[in-house]
């Protein structure tokens, strides 16, 4: 809600400017490497992204090739050998689709949605926050009121209502995620820029009569980007999670482009009869993906937190 309580928590006053000091890249990487869980998560992440990228070469079957599907192979348990030779390591779904292949392709859709939605939301939110902080006045009030309004509602509800109005589609899911996520970046960016704009180099730039847009984009933006990048990491995970949830609820991606969430949903009805693999394995892939991103994001946040140096 617009009047959601601004937490009067006892944040140390010096925290905000300290975060803004450009973090030493070498130190951040060293900190990341020193944590075995973070390293494991980073490796898992690279493997998953590579698997998604090279899905057409890795997948034993083409899940989109309807002609290759055999209805006699439906709902086979993991490890079963098919009629014509290859083994279904992760079983098959209700249409006889190889689950391993379906997961590899589903991973692609989940990642595409998560990454593009985050990129768009971060760009829009960053620019809006920058504008609000630098221009101030009515522009700031208008932008920040909108931000408060959006952040006042649970993301799932806003996205659900939006998608029920627009209908299913990969592009529409991305749009809905952007609408619910940009506000977060705008709020962070505004806070950072408000502090940054008081520094001497901005003053100096103003004295040189450098145009406002240039001060914003060339001087302020690079110096205020660190917190945005950290938040963006974690937001990729929540975008992926949001997409899968919306797809599960039936308002997300269409069945022609099954993401991990939709694959999980398609196995729901067979779960009660003990055929767990249709839902279990795509879910496992989703959890490993989201968990790895969150772990890396958490360690990144720790690395730039000056209290932990």
Partner 1 sequence: MTLFILRRVIQSVFVLLAVSLVVFFAVYAIGDPVELLVSPDTSAAEREVMIRRLGLDLPIWRQYLVFLGNLAQGDLGTSFVHGVPAVELILQRLPATLELVVLSLVIAVSIGLPLGMIAGLAPETRTARTIMTGSIFGYSLPAFWQGMMLIFVFAVFLNWAPAAGRGDTVSLLGVEVSFLTADGWSHLILPAINLALPNLALVLRLAASGTAEARLQDYVKYARAKGVRRGRIVRRHILRNILVPVVTVIGVEFGSLIAYSTITETVFAWPGMGKLLIDSVYQLDRPVVVAYVMIATFIFVTVNLLVDLAYAMLDPRVELEKGAS
Q: Where do contacts with partner 1 occur on this chain (CB under 8 A)?
A: 1-10, 37, 148-149, 152-154, 156-157, 160-162, 164-166, 237, 241, 244-245, 248-251, 261, 264-265, 268, 271-272, 274, 276, 279-280, 283, 286-287, 290-291, 294-295, 298
- Give the pair of three-digit tokens for residue 48: 């998953």
Distances from the Cα of 238 to the Cα of 8, 44, 74, angstroms:
26, 18, 32
Task: Pick between residue 135 and residue 161 the one whose CB is nearest to partner 1.
Answer: 161
Compute the least distance from the CB of residue 225 to partner 1, in Å. Answer: 24
Task: Pick between residue 1 and residue 71 the one whose CB is nearest to partner 1.
Answer: 1
- Give the pair of three-digit tokens for residue 230: 């950290």
Task: Pick between residue 180 and residue 228 the one whose CB is nearest to partner 1.
Answer: 180
Compute the least distance from the CB of residue 106 to partner 1, in Å. Answer: 13
Compute the least distance from the CB of residue 282 to partner 1, in Å. Answer: 8
Task: Pick between residue 220 and residue 295 the one whose CB is nearest to partner 1.
Answer: 295
Task: Pick between residue 125 and residue 261 the one whose CB is nearest to partner 1.
Answer: 261
Compute the least distance from the CB of residue 124 to partner 1, in Å. Answer: 18
Task: Pick between residue 85 and residue 274 the one whose CB is nearest to partner 1.
Answer: 274
Give the CA radius of gyration of the chain: 23
CA-closest candidate to residue 240, choices 111, 154, 125: 111
CA-closest candidate to residue 193, choices 233, 148, 151, 225: 225
Compute the least distance from the CB of residue 185 to partner 1, in Å. Answer: 19
Compute the least distance from the CB of residue 117 to partner 1, in Å. Answer: 16
């Amino acid at each position: 809600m617009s009047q959601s309580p601004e937490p009067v928590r006892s944040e140390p006053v010096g925290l905000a400017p300290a975060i803004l000091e450009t973090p030493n890249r070498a130190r951040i990487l060293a900190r990341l490497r020193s944590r075995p869980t973070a390293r494991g998560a980073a490796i898992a992440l690279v493997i998953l992204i590579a698997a998604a990228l090279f899905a057409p070469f890795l997948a034993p079957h083409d899940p989109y090739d309807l002609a290759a599907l055999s209805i006699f192979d439906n709902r086979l348990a993991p490890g079963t050998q098919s009629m014509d030779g290859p083994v279904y390591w992760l079983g098959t779904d209700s249409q006889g689709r190889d689950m391993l292949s379906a997961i590899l392709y589903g991973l692609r859709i989940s990642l595409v949605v998560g990454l593009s939605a985050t990129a768009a939301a971060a760009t829009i939110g960053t620019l809006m926050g920058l504008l609000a902080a630098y221009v101030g006045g009515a522009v700031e009030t208008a932008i920040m009121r909108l931000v408060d309004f959006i952040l006042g509602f649970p993301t799932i509800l806003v996205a659900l209502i939006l998608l029920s109005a627009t209908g299913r589609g990969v592009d529409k899911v991305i749009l809905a995620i952007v609408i619910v996520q940009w506000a977060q970046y705008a709020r962070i960016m505004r806070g950072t820029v408000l502090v940054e704009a008081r520094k001497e180099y901005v003053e100096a730039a103003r004295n040189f009569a450098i145009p406002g847009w240039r001060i914003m984009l060339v001087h302020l933006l690079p110096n205020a980007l660190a917190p945005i990048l950290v938040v963006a990491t974690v937001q990729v995970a929540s975008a992926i999670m949001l997409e899968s949830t919306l797809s599960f609820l039936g308002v997300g991606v269409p069945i022609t482009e099954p993401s991990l969430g939709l694959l999980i949903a398609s196995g729901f009805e067979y779960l009660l009869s003990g055929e767990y693999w249709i839902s279990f394995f795509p879910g496992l892939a989703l959890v490993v993906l989201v968990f790895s991103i969150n772990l890396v994001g958490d360690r990144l946040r720790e690395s730039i937190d000056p209290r932990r140096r």
